[in-house]
Amino acid sequence: RKEVEQDPGPFNVPEGATVAFNCTYSNSASQSFFWYRQDCRKEPKLLMSVYSSGNEDGRFTAQLNRASQYISLLIRDSKLSDSATYLCVVNYKARNSGNTPLVFGKGTRLSVIA
């Protein structure tokens, strides 16, 4: 089972639509969870952290389900500028050290169409 798994998409949605992305992770000891956004030919940028209680930032809502090892991102009222790849990111215990590198999913591509 892959460490962080996402539906690659693409998701093609009209402006104003609500779209949800899902992500599953394999390491039950993971502690930190994030959604990053990557525009075409650009670097990834943090969209939002994901907290156990769920959190919202404007049109974006993130949820974490530790029991199912599942993270979601909901985007309401999609804008053209939301078109990007959304990366699910989880920390993962390194094999030979106490440090915990981040593991990135392959990303889900979103295209918002006028």
Partner 1 sequence: DTAVSQTPKYLVTQMGNDKSIKCEQNLGHDTMYWYKQDSKKFLKIMFSYNNKELIINETVPNRFSPKSPDKAHLNLHINSLELGDSAVYFCASSQDRAGGLYNEQFFGPGTRLTVL
Binding residues for partner 1 (CB under 8 A): 31-32, 34, 42-46, 49, 85, 87, 91, 93-94, 97-104, 106-107
CB of 85 to partner 1, least distance (A): 7
CB of 106 to partner 1, least distance (A): 5
Let me know: does 89 contact 33? Beta carbons within 8 Å. yes
CB of 14 to partner 1, least distance (A): 25
- Judged by beta carbon, residue 43 or residue 67, the one nearer partner 1 is 43
- Judged by beta carbon, residue 76 or residue 106, the one nearer partner 1 is 106
- Judged by beta carbon, residue 94 or residue 113, the one nearer partner 1 is 94
| Token pair for 30 | 């993971």
